[in-house]
Structure 1
Amino acid sequence: MEGRWRGISTVLVILAGLAASGSSYQIIEGPKNATVLEGSEARFNCTVSQGWRLIMWALNGTVVLSITPSEPIITNDRFTSASYEEGGNSISEMIIHDVQLRDAGHIKCSLQNSDRDASAFLSVQVMGALLIPGGNLVVAEDEPCNVTCHAWGWIPPPGISWDIGVPVSHSSYHSVPEPNNPQSAVSVLTLTPQGNGTLTCVATMKGLHAHKSVTVNLTVVQPPLGSIDKAGTSLPTWAIILLAVSFSLLLILIIVLIIIICCCCVSGREIKESSYQSEIRKSASVKTNKETFETNLESGSENLGYHSDEPRTAKLASFAPVSSESSVQEQHSSRQPYQGPDRRWWGPAGRPQVSFPVASPRTVRNVTLV
């Protein structure tokens, strides 16, 4: 702090002396425009005639360095000076160390007690990052492929070129600024490789001989067997996806149909077995009823086919021979008699033809009249 105040005091004393002396001098040649990278040095020269007492350097209207014939007055360590003599004139050089982006602007050299000054413009460029996403690449031989190179944070955006170190049958590239980011650019390289090698993306600053590069290895492999390896004849990605989805749906449909057929077969078998068991049960029931019926017939306990039809019986009895009476009576006498009223049918001349007891419908067997 004391050095700074002492420098300011010295400048004021010199200015007062110059004002008193009234000396006159001029700027012979002023500084020139310069373009530098951020972080580097910028140098500006100002040539003045003999007799000068104070040279002042200003950046964007602010004095950052003052120089007297004896010594410079430094107020900021980033701004220093150097002095030279040439042809009887004095050359004052201002050096800006570690140039920042905010340093871009007007540089002015002026003399005390002179109405002339000289100015120049300082341009600061920023070198950003350079990247090929994915790193080293593996591609199929004789199949077109794209390689992308991104440049981020460059001011201004750089020019991008490619150094192709692989044998190719075709190659081309184009570079464009990235959308919504004026400080970045992207370059796409399209090539059809035929062998192994390297690919180098080179970004060059405009107006400077400065550049940055990034290199990746490219490995070429043989295409799979059965694949279509001619350019322009392979299926597009959307077609491959559509085929894959179609095969998946077809497989699912086949599985569903198989499940449905199996279920129908099992149901049909169960229905068939159920019908077969039902028929067996029905046959067994019919057989049991038949055996019961035959047993009842043999025992004479029941006549399911008997119907009471007295007129028809009487008519048949009228035509029966007399000898039938004794047969019927013998059969009747051999069984347990029914205690009921006797009924007789009278033929011509008042003679009885048939006489038998009336039995209950449950105890009468079928009787055949001869």
Structure 2
Amino acid sequence: MGSSRTGILATLVVLAGLAASGSSYEIIEGPKNATVLEGSEARFNCTISPGWRLIMWSLNGTVVLSITPTEPIITSDRFTTASYEEGGNFISEMIIHDVQLSDAGHVRCSLQNSDRDASAFLSVIVMGELFISSGVLIVIEDEPCNVTCRASGWTPLPDISWEIGVPVNHSSYYSVREPDDPQSTVSILALTPQGNGTLTCVATVEALQVHKSVTVNLTAVQPPVGSLDKPGASLPTWAIALLAVSFSLLLILIIVLIIIFCCCRVPGREKKGSSYHSEVRKSATVKTNKETLQTKLKSGNENHGYSSDEPRTTKSASVPPRSSEPSVPEHRSSRQPYQGPDDRQQGPTSRPQISFIMASPRKVRNVTLV
């Protein structure tokens, strides 16, 4: 009975000793979050109690550095270590050289044969480009203008502000992200300059209070002579409204005059066209009457082949009564009786005279042939 109790106590002492030896080393303080610039160094510390056998550092789940009590096990030149002792505890420091954006993530410190670990987060800031759209700005004095500053390739996006070294009447600015480039932002400064000076665009990352700036010279020139766009020479509101109403009334008046002119011009054209057609019809009627008269004159029988060298004597013939029926020309002829020799001696022989009448429904014509 006594021996069994002694065995149990011995077993408990051994287990207690094993437990004490296993728990004799632990992570007292783990690494802390860090934010660094791309290309710089990042440092993480892990404080461990005495009795440790192996310390392992991992980045985003991959072991990059191991440390033993005698020497470190280095797998990459970018990851090195430094060791310190403080109050009997061991401090292991991991140094990441030339930090890249891909290094951003979880940093973990762990011990061999222990489920205890400590982790932190590494943030990497990328400072991109910063520029103003124009190196030299020439603007008109006392006229509003805009100046654009663009930050490109930044992670995270910076806050942009302006330092105005120009006398101004008014100034304000705002920033917008570019939808096609998540690492770029644009800041637009609106101002009304009243003289020459400098404008400075400043991009700041709040996490590290790091900034980058660019400066541009601004030259304000006098407005052209006679310019009406100068704010100091602008018309009052009531004058602008009066001018707008006047121009509207003038436009309506011009439209009314055009309509009246068109309406008055159309009847004149119709009258002119009617007079023109009337003249054409009149000319056609006169021409037709003339042709009819010539035709009627040619309808008579005329002897165009006879020609006489002696003077003609015309005898008037009695005109028969006019009737509705066209009269037929009557041919009368007389033959002189035979003349003897005595008669021929009296003088030249007289030729017979033939007289006939040409009649038409409208006109009777006497024609005498000698």
Is this contact kept in 1: 2:26–2:49, CA < 8 A?
yes
Which residue of structure 2 aligns with residue 187 of structure 1?
187
1:91 deviates by: 1.4
Counterpart secondary structure, 2:223: coil
Partner of 2:313: helix, strand, or coil? Answer: helix
Partner of 1:314: 313
Query: Are residues 39 and 357 of structure 1, via their aligned partners in 2, closer, same or farther at CA, if it must alter by over 3 Å?
Result: farther
For residues 349 and 41 of structure 2, the distance between their equivalents in structure 1, rounded to whole angstroms, comes to: 156
Answer whether contact 1:29 1:47 (CA < 8 A) is retained: yes
- Go from structure 1 to structure 2 and tell me whether the alpha carbon gap of 1:45 and 1:310 turns closer, same or farther (over 3 Å shift): same
Partner of 1:142: 142
**Would you say the 8 A contact 2:223–2:230 is kept in 1?**
no
Give matches, 1:57-96, under 5 Å: 57-96=57-96
Contact 1:24-1:114 within 8 A present in 2 as well: no
The residue number in structure 2 matching 1:125 is 125
> What is the CA-CA distance between 1:227 and the residue it aligns to?
1.2
Aligned-partner Cα distance in 2 for 1:353–1:47: 187
Moved over 4 A (4+): 307-312, 350-358
Could you say which residue in structure 2 is the equivalent of 1:27? 27
Assess, with a 3 A threshold, how the Cα gap between structure 1 residues 354 and 97 changes in structure 2: closer, same or farther: farther
TM norm structure 2 = 0.58
Structure 1 residues 217 and 356, CA, compared in 2 at 3 Å: closer, same or farther? farther
- Post-superposition CA distance 1:129-177 (Å, at most 9, x none): 1111121111110010000011111112111111111010000000010
Secondary structure class of the residue paired with 2:191 = strand
Aligned to 2:210: 210
Please tell me whether the aligned partners of residues 23 and 51 of structure 1 are also in contact (alpha carbons under 8 angstroms).
Answer: no
CA distance in 2, matches of 1:74, 1:353: 179
Gaps of 5+ in 2: 1-20, 236-305, 316-342, 352-370
Shift of 1:314: 2.8
Letter in 1 for 2:211: H
Contact 2:100/2:124 (8 A) holds in 1: yes
Alpha-carbon distance in structure 2 between the residues aligned to 1:133 and 1:30: 47
Secondary structure in 1 matching 2:149: strand
Is the CA contact (8 Å cut-off) linking 1:156 and 1:206 kept in structure 2?
no
- Measure the CA separation in 1 of the matches of 2:216 and 2:102: 35
Task: Supply the distance in 2 between the matched residues of 1:147 and 1:96 (Cα, whole angstroms).
Answer: 41
Q: 1:351 to 1:72 in 2, by over 3 A?
A: same
Which runs of 5 or more residues in structure 1 are unaligned?
1-20, 235-306, 317-349, 359-370
**Identity of paired residues, percent?**
74
The answer to which of 122-131 and 165-174 deviates more is 122-131
Question: What SS does the aligned partner of 2:177 have?
Answer: strand
Q: Secondary structure at the match of 1:102?
A: helix
Deviation of residue 355 (structure 1)? 6.5
Q: CA–CA distance in 2 between the matches of 1:179 and 1:171? A: 26
RMSD of aligned Cα (Å): 3.0
Question: Counterpart of 2:155 in 1: which secondary structure?
Answer: coil
Structure holding more helix per residue? 1
- Against the structure 1 CA distance between its residues 223 and 54, is the aligned structure 2 distance closer, same or farther, given a 3 Å change threshold? same
Q: Match for residue 55 of structure 2?
A: 55
- Residue by residue, what CA displacement relative to the aligned partner does 1:31-64 show, whole Å, maximum 9, x if unpaired? 1111111111111111111222221111111111
Deviation at 1:79, TM superposition (A): 0.6
1:167 matched residue in structure 2:
167
Q: Tell me the TM-score normalised to structure 1 length.
A: 0.58
Q: CA distance change for structure 1 residues 38 and 353 in 2, over 3 Å: closer, same or farther?
A: farther
Letter aligned with residue 91 of structure 1: I
Q: How many pairs align?
A: 235
**Preserved CA contact (<8 Å) 2:34 2:42:** yes
CA contact (8 A) 1:142 1:230 kept: yes
The whole-number CA distance in structure 2 between the counterparts of 1:146 and 1:124 is 33
Residues 65, 72 of structure 1: 8 Å contact kept? yes
- From the superposition, tell whether residues 313 and 116 of structure 1 become closer, same or farther in structure 2 (CA, over 3 Å): same
What SS class does the counterpart of residue 231 from structure 2 fall into? coil
Q: Give 1:357 shift.
A: 11
What pairs with 1:253-332 in structure 2 (closer than 5 Å)? 308=307, 313-314=312-313
Question: One-letter code of the match for 2:30?
Answer: G
Q: Secondary structure at the residue paired with 2:133?
A: coil
Cα deviation for residue 310 of structure 1 reads 8.4
Aligned to 2:44: 44
In the alignment, what sits opposite 1:347? none
Secondary structure of 1:215's partner? strand
Matched AA of 2:313: A
Q: Does 1:228 align with 2:192?
A: no
Deviates most, 168-177 or 154-163: 154-163
Does residue 1:100 correspond to 2:100, yes or no? yes
- How much has 1:114 moved relative to structure 2? 2.2
Task: Identify if the C-alpha distance between structure 1 residues 26 and 314 changes in structure 2 by more than 3 Å, giving closer, same or farther.
Answer: same
